[in-house]
Amino acid sequence: MNCLIIDDEKIAREILKVLCEENGSLKIKGSYSSALPAIKYLNENDVDLIFLDIHMPDFNGFDLIKTLKNPPKIILTTSDPQFALKAFEYDFIVDYLLKPIESSRFDKAVQKAENKVIEPSKFASKSVTPNSVESDFYVNIDRRLIKINPASVYLVEAKGDYIHIKTEEQNYRVHSTLKKIEDKLPPSMFLKIHRSYIINLKKIIDIEDNSVLIERDVIPISRSKRPELMRRLDLL
């Protein structure tokens, strides 16, 4: 199994690395001291298993979990037993290892992960569901993770290697693709009306010919998307 190690303590990361190598069935794809670079990796790559510390500065283990669209199997590693009950609210968290971690206990947790079959329908209701209106998502701005409420977004525009997310309070420029942000927005509220634009249907002010007025922006509607837009609107 391909795995990641995420722990702010260097010694803990080294111990986990040795345990993974001794186990023989694990291939370490990355080892991170904080959540931000790990999230960036996970947004672009798939892994089978994450060894995740709970207590980390700024962004703890459960915060990281909430950013994951399709969480892999996770083994929590911590010196704090108080979160055990909370951990098992999530179907994809397969075990909870208390530090210091013994080799035999580690191997048992890995075996659980290998045998665990996760049904998406089970964890969809327990973790963050990306397509629900209530689900906030995070963007990486100057090495900071900023939480955005989808309901506040009225327009997303693609410009080269960046997207511009326009909200009622502030605008954000993010190094990402329109496809990635589209997957995080609730489809009941948003529609891609052009190859470069996604709009919040609830924020539309006016539609004329092949353009839509949303807040102060006039956005073109592609010919192929116009029928879908008309179908989604509540017309008298």
For residue 174, pLDDT over 50 is answered with yes
Mean residue pLDDT of the chain comes to: 85
For residue 101, is it within any domain? Answer: yes
- HSE value, Cβ hemisphere, 13 Å, CA-based, for 79: 7
| Boundaries of domain holding 162 | 147-232
| pLDDT at res. 118 | 62
Contact by Cβ (8 Å): 165, 175: no
For residue 139, pLDDT over 90 is answered with no
For residue 134, pLDDT over 80 is answered with no
Contact by Cβ (8 Å): 155, 170: no
157/118 same-domain check: no
Find where tokens 């995420």 sit. Answer: 6
pLDDT, tens digit, 9 for 90 and up, residues 192-228: 999 999 999 989 998 887 899 998 899 999 988 888 8
For residue 46, is it within any domain? Answer: yes
- Per DSSP, 227 falls in state H
115/32 same-domain check: yes
10/98 same-domain check: yes
pTM of the shown model: 0.54
12/88 same-domain check: yes
Domain count, the chain: 2
For residue 235, pLDDT over 80 is answered with no
For residue 145, pLDDT over 70 is answered with yes
